[in-house]
Amino acid sequence: MGSGIETMVEKLVVPTVKVACGFKVEDNELIALVGFAMAPTSREVLTKVSFWLFKINGSVLKCGICDRGPLTRKGLFLHLTRVHREEVKALVRDELTRELKKVAHAGKADLL
């Protein structure tokens, strides 16, 4: 695994947490961050990983990793980026690796 992946993982932590907290990440924001070629793969990663980062029960929002809550969306954002940064990175790394392998099979990736 090259250092290209770690750079991508770092870049995707905040957008992934944003999506988990219900904030929008626009396509141009993602493209500015990772480049046009990696934007679709990054979107897949954001969508999949964000799912594990929150729990919602009625209107009560909780942390998907440690069950802390209720939290506001902003509170969850701060909690995930401060307390669970390493866990989020690990989840992003796993999912990104999986997505890149798919792309590599299609003959389009140069990161692996």
Chain residues binding Zn ion by CB under 5 A are 63, 65-66, 68
Closest-approach residue to Zn ion (CB): 63
Instruction: Identify the H or E element spanning 78.
Output: helix 73-83
For the bound state, the minimum distance from the C-beta of residue 7 to Zn ion, rounded and expressed in Å, comes to: 26
Cβ distance to Zn ion smaller for residue 66 or 104: 66
Give the length of the chain. Answer: 112
CB 55 within 8 A of CB 67: yes
Long-range residue pairs from 32-40, CB within 8 A, at least 24 positions apart, any chain: 34/8, 38/8
For the bound state, the minimum distance from the C-beta of residue 95 to Zn ion, rounded and expressed in Å, comes to: 19
Cβ distance to Zn ion smaller for residue 46 or 71: 71
